[in-house]
Amino acid sequence: MECKNKIYALVDINNCYVSCERIFNPSLNNKPVIVLSNNDGCAVARSQEAKDLGIKMGVPLFQIKDIVEQHQVQVLSSNYALYAEMSRRFMKILSDFVSPKEQEIYSIDECFLDLTAHSENYDLTEYAHQIRQRVFSWLGLPVCIGIGRSKTEAKLANHIAKKNAYFNGVCNLVSMDPCSAETLHQAIDVGEIWGVGRKHSKKLNSLGIHSVMDFVLTSPVMIRDQFSVVMHRTLLELHGIACIELEHTPPAKKQIIASRSFGQRIYHIDDLKEAMSLYVMDAVSRLRDDNLLCGCLIGFVQSNPFDSSKPFYNKSLSLALPEPTDNLLLLSKL
């Protein structure tokens, strides 16, 4: 494992889908807004105003109808073509500040930048504010930027920038004095660390590790023995040792999932078959876009897990193909 001295920034669009919608519909500004998944089943994006009402990510729309009506929450269907185009423009602006080798498109609304070489000529906090200002001026998208000595630390800094208005959208942990950084780390739950997740968080809590600061002060040997080399690497990254390089070419996908929540109850098998055919078409389209082939097909269906009046139904079926293919006709028949 090669570890280097680096400085990274993570640039993240705030409430991405909602922010994109607000650009073209300013009447949504300062109002609670949620964007729904395909077929308008669940909330996949929320404005800060909606979050403040207690609306959780992924919650089914029918569960929050009372909140929606009481607080006049604006409910929108997702527009992925719009979000993809705004993401493309966002990434293009960031490319004006770094070279292609210094940029990693991490997701539709997140991008890592390697600012190591720029630290010699710029105050990186000011440089980040310039990036933030240009994105907002040119696109109208609000972003937060976290700067750290590793990608994991940059992720953490971005979290701090989002949660603390004091930083005005930019948190630079590289230039922050140790006492201030420790105070912030003590107040952040260990589960917020990039790569820790809910499962590891529970185990860490059982070991008396509850905050980011607790984790940073933990023995690296214990973390490696109790968890994995990956968690050990995460700890090193939070100590400012960069172990995770930028990825300029996204790794090939191992699976493609086309799954939707229905906006209304399905009672007839023909309706279900029609939906499955559409999902296969969607999956094959993305398969071809990535120049991949399908070697295994898995179909699954389940009833509403939140309807306690009826028994929960959940079935799946997998089929290994004798030869990998992207033939839509063949896959649809299966």
What whole-number distance in Å separates Cα of residue 101 and Cα of residue 204? 36
Provide the token pair at 127: 């440089």
Residue 162 has what pLDDT? 96
Q: In what order do the strands lie in the sheet with 43-46?
A: 43-46, 33-36, 74-77
What whole-number distance in Å separates Cα of residue 113 and Cα of residue 101? 9
Residue 12 has what pLDDT? 98
The per-residue pLDDT string of the chain (334 residues; one tens digit each, 9 = 90 and over) reads: 555 689 999 999 999 999 999 999 999 999 999 999 876 788 999 999 999 999 999 999 999 999 999 999 999 998 888 999 999 999 999 999 999 999 999 999 999 999 999 998 899 999 999 999 999 999 999 999 999 999 999 999 999 999 999 999 999 999 999 999 999 999 999 999 998 988 899 999 999 999 999 999 999 999 999 998 999 999 999 999 999 999 876 666 677 777 666 656 777 787 777 777 878 888 888 888 888 899 888 887 877 766 667 787 878 778 888 889 888 888 887 6
What whole-number distance in Å separates Cα of residue 227 and Cα of residue 217? 16
What whole-number distance in Å separates Cα of residue 278 and Cα of residue 268? 16
Catalytic residue, candidates 49, 104, 110, 153: 110
Q: How many CB atoms lie within 10 A of CB 221?
A: 9
Residue 307 has what pLDDT? 67
3-state secondary structure of 230: helix
Contact between 146 and 121 (Cβ < 8 Å): no
Q: What is the pTM of this model?
A: 0.76
Residue ranges of domains in the chain, CATH in brackets: 16-80 (3.40.1170.60), 269-333 (no CATH)
Provide the token pair at 270: 């023909």
**How far from the centroid of its chain's Cα atoms is residue 102's Cα?**
20
Residue 160 has what pLDDT? 98
User: Within the chain, where are the H helices?
Assistant: 16-24, 48-52, 65-71, 80-94, 124-139, 151-163, 178-186, 197-206, 212-216, 220-226, 229-238, 269-289, 328-333
Q: What are phi and psi of 114, to 5 degrees?
A: -90, 110
Q: How many CB atoms lie within 10 A of CB 310?
A: 8
Residue 103 has what pLDDT? 97
| Residue that the structure tokens 């009402």 belong to | 53
Q: Is the dihedral of CA 216, 221, 227, 233 positive or negative?
A: positive
Contact between 156 and 192 (Cβ < 8 Å): yes
* Beta pairing, strands 170-172 & 143-148: parallel
Q: Is the dihedral of CA 233, 234, 235, 239 positive or negative?
A: positive
What whole-number distance in Å separates Cα of residue 287 and Cα of residue 181? 44
Active site residue 110: yes
What whole-number distance in Å separates Cα of residue 291 and Cα of residue 252? 9
Residue 300 has what pLDDT? 78
Residue 305 has what pLDDT? 63
